[in-house]
Amino acid sequence: MKPYSEMSKEELEAQKAELTKQFEQAKEKGLKLDMSRGKPEPAQLDMGMGLLDVLTSSSDMKCMEGIDTRNYGLMDGITEAKHLMADVMSVPAENVIVYGNSSLAIMYDTISRSVTHGVMGSTPWCKLDQVKFLCPVPGYDRHFAITQHFGIEMIPIPMTADGPDMDLVEKYVSEDESVKGIWCVPKYSNPSGVSYSDETVRRFAALKPAAKDFRIYWDNAYAVHHLYEDKRDEILEILSECEKAGNPDMVFEFCSTSKITFSGAGMAAMASSAANLADTKKTLTLQTIGYDKVNQLRHARYFKNLEGMLAHMKKHANIIRPKFEAVLAVLERELGGLGIGEWTKPLGGYFISFNAMEGCAKAIVAKCKEAGVVLTGAGATYPYGKDPKDSNIRIAPTFPTAQEMAQATDLFVLCVKLVSVEKLLQTA
Amino acid sequence: MKPYSEMSKEELEAQKAELTKQFEQAKEKGLKLDMSRGKPEPAQLDMGMGLLDVLTSSSDMKCMEGIDTRNYGLMDGITEAKHLMADVMSVPAENVIVYGNSSLAIMYDTISRSVTHGVMGSTPWCKLDQVKFLCPVPGYDRHFAITQHFGIEMIPIPMTADGPDMDLVEKYVSEDESVKGIWCVPKYSNPSGVSYSDETVRRFAALKPAAKDFRIYWDNAYAVHHLYEDKRDEILEILSECEKAGNPDMVFEFCSTSKITFSGAGMAAMASSAANLADTKKTLTLQTIGYDKVNQLRHARYFKNLEGMLAHMKKHANIIRPKFEAVLAVLERELGGLGIGEWTKPLGGYFISFNAMEGCAKAIVAKCKEAGVVLTGAGATYPYGKDPKDSNIRIAPTFPTAQEMAQATDLFVLCVKLVSVEKLLQTA
């Protein structure tokens, strides 16, 4: 089929009639599918059940420090868990604090602490007239929600195939003292799947911030979440790059096992410089006597080391890769060459990012919903939920089965076509 | 032996010589005992090991909502965990949010949220010139540390045998709009072991706060922590009392299983009015996708109900009661009638509170340390670490064995005598 933009008004009208008929038929199927959130499917969770068997007797419960993990103490995590999470992030274990089950909670906490107490002695952000964050777009809605909650002004930064537009990042960071941070998902980005190039990481490390308390919020959520064994993205390790560049304190890095073991009951960690960690611990020690060390021990014993975890993640990949491929196959077959949409083909992570014709995303998501397929809300991938082009849609293929994903994507492409035809007819 | 205050200078000198000799001998024993923190002992933790066996297969993992606890979701906790924690606090389950492993973290969070976002629409505390909290003394050092961290001015309120001095509480709360809260441990208080009388609870419920965002921070940490079967304190349920008194939104109540199952890996909960919970959840939903639901399910399945938990706590009591009794026996035998110290005889909780002669607490704690027995730092039970009378010492008898506790208390009473004699000699 030829590109929609080359169709005459009559051809478009004919298309519309045919697509509308197909859509009505699709509605009758009564689909009920959810592609809205990056959730593991049950089979992935089943793979982690061994986790619940590693600690059974009282004699199992001491960690490397010789401390009973069931009792109070060790606020910053047990050594073996630090090592495991450090290896996930490719940093030394002494740069790691292991927390509870949610890296999002660590990020919230890190921002909240900066608002009330500043960063390493800086003025608390609540005392400043203006605080801004750079937000690579499309990005992760929950990052944006945290910054918005604290009244932090968000500046969208376009993503390229190599990561955020670094010319813009450098300009804002070096010129504006009210810019205190940037949200990054450096590997298999949410939602684009893009991994930052070495040059991008080096340019991050070499930033010359106007604000002393500027930090890069490096959410390494998909560090070990490869879809393929032979095609993988790897990124430069940011902490050591920053140190080399003379900016040792510029990064807070986050990760978790939420999409490795259990989304509801994993463990999360933060890596940063000794100075940042010392500053963090000053508050942490008031906040809790310690996180769940039994769960930390459980994870460390279960995986033993990074190799154990990577072997586990290969099995995950075998489950979710066919779903990604099912979506991509339908997109290619149905939309290839039509000029009404572009999409990413990620090598890892949890999402496919789809860009519709301008002004079509909301209508597409609404149409899908009308026929029983729930997508992430259009705009969610932008600060304040506002995609200025109304173009980006995040597809989360992991939770439904591959067959369901194919069905859902069949409907999705139908809606993309129908909305695009209607859009073109408005100006034809 | 007659009261020290009735001794002549010569008698005191003779006492001092004898006690100094005993102290030097005690030092030679090279004791290494810690009575500083309220930690369960290993045998208590061993009793909870069944907790790790209740969830073993994939088919065990759904909670009452039919949701897989291993996956994301259910931010405010699973229904069965809400019911269990609600029963601990004697409140309806719909008034409960179940969190992660630390009630201290909930309290920190609740204060932090009030600082940045206010309480149910009130001005955020960080925008106010002055915020004050009432602090019943002696009290829990970690409460005071949180308020101090946020620059909140702490006003000490003396404890009586019925709870805080309510005349003072009523005066401050009704007259001063900058008074935003009061820290309470209403049952088996930390450290005095006092439980609030029904009249005290009713007077709390009937407060007429000048500040709309005044809240009672009701840390019900020892709700089921009785030492005896036949002698128990029970307190009035504060939420319903407040509602009856026309103050439905005046309380945040906290509890946890830290001293029921595992101190490092239990679950914690907050109870409050529907309006407070709704306000809390507005932030919570940005902060996390959910707490550890697997651990919540584990706890709910293990105990089944409050009766199961109370049966479990009877076994705990059998372990720690002899330790309390060992301490009390030594105190009574060695210090009874000397007029140099008073102490509480709690029916539950984790502490014995000792009041030395004025100006002696720091010296006693230092002397104990010199001979190898670590106590909670003198002053820790007061805001800013400053006990104006330098009198109160918190004794935590649970972690060491009963024999160790007797040994440690032998040393303690020796130090009390020695320091008291020295004190009396200064003015003799």
Residue B246: give its domain's CATH number: 3.40.640.10
Spatial separation of the C-alpha atoms in residues A247 and A211, rounded to whole Å: 12
Strand partners of residue A62: A68
- B46: nearest CA in chain A? A58
Least CB–CB distance from A292: residue in B56, B100, B104: B100
Express each pLDDT in A315-374 by its tens digit: 999 999 999 999 999 999 999 999 999 999 999 999 999 999 999 999 999 999 999 999
* CATH code of residue A421: 3.90.1150.10
Has residue A246 been placed in a domain?
Answer: yes
Domain ranges, residue A298: 63-304
**Does residue B204 contact residue B181 with C-beta atoms inside 8 Å?**
no
Token pair of B202 as six digits: 């009713």
pLDDT over 80 at A428, yes or no: no
Asked if the C-beta of A142 comes within 8 angstroms of chain B's C-beta atoms, the answer is yes
Express each pLDDT in B40-79 by its tens digit: 999 999 999 999 999 999 999 999 999 999 999 999 999 9
Residue B50: what pLDDT?
96
Amino acid present at A59: S
Amino acid present at A317: A
Which chain B residues have a beta carbon less than 8 Å from that of A68?
42, 45, 264
pLDDT over 80 at A403, yes or no: yes
* pTM score of the predicted model: 0.96
Last residue of a domain, one of B304, B331, B350: B304
Q: Kindly provide the residue ranges of all beta strands, DSSP E only, lying in A88-145, ordered along the sequence.
A: 96-98, 132-137
Asked if the C-beta of B130 comes within 8 angstroms of chain A's C-beta atoms, the answer is no
Has residue B56 been placed in a domain?
Answer: no
HSE at residue B361, side-chain half, CA atoms within 13 A, is 26
Express each pLDDT in B374-393 by its tens digit: 999 999 999 999 999 999 99
* Distance (Å) from the alpha carbon of A158 to chain B's nearest alpha carbon: 24
Residue B125: what pLDDT?
97
A28 and A72 co-located in one domain: no
List the single best residue of A263, A295, A301, A350 to mutate versus B (max B Cβ within 10 A): A263
Has residue B177 been placed in a domain?
Answer: yes
* Distance (Å) from the alpha carbon of A129 to chain B's nearest alpha carbon: 12
Express each pLDDT in A93-130 by its tens digit: 999 999 999 999 999 999 999 999 999 999 999 999 99
Last residue of a domain, one of B276, B304, B332: B304
Rg (CA), chain B: 23
A143 and A215 co-located in one domain: yes
Which chain B residues have a beta carbon less than 8 Å from that of A288?
102, 104-105, 108
CB neighbourhood size of A145 (10 A)? 18
* Distance (Å) from the alpha carbon of B30 to chain A's nearest alpha carbon: 22
- Whether A290 and B264 lie within 8 Å, measured CB to CB: yes
Q: Which of B198, B155, B191 is nearest to B355 (CA)?
A: B191
Q: Which of A182, A196, A142 is nearest to A394 (CA)?
A: A142
Q: Which of A126, A144, A124 is nearest to A135 (CA)?
A: A144
pLDDT over 90 at A427, yes or no: no
**Does residue A395 contact residue A37 with C-beta atoms inside 8 Å?**
no
Share of chain B above pLDDT 70, in %: 100
Last residue of a domain, one of A251, A286, A304: A304
* Distance (Å) from the alpha carbon of A188 to chain B's nearest alpha carbon: 20
Amino acid present at B17: A
Give the count of domains, chain B: 2
Pick left, alpha or beta for residue A96 (phi over 0 → left; psi -120 to 50 → alpha; otherwise beta). beta
- Whether B108 and A70 lie within 8 Å, measured CB to CB: no
- A117: nearest CA in chain B? B150
Spatial separation of the C-alpha atoms in residues A119 and A244, rounded to whole Å: 21
Tokens 């800086």 belong to which residue? A122
A148 and A236 co-located in one domain: yes
Express each pLDDT in B180-233 by its tens digit: 999 999 999 999 999 999 999 999 999 999 999 999 999 999 999 999 999 999
pLDDT over 80 at A54, yes or no: yes
Is the ipTM of this structure higher than 0.85? Answer: yes
Spatial separation of the C-alpha atoms in residues B2 and B425, rounded to whole Å: 16
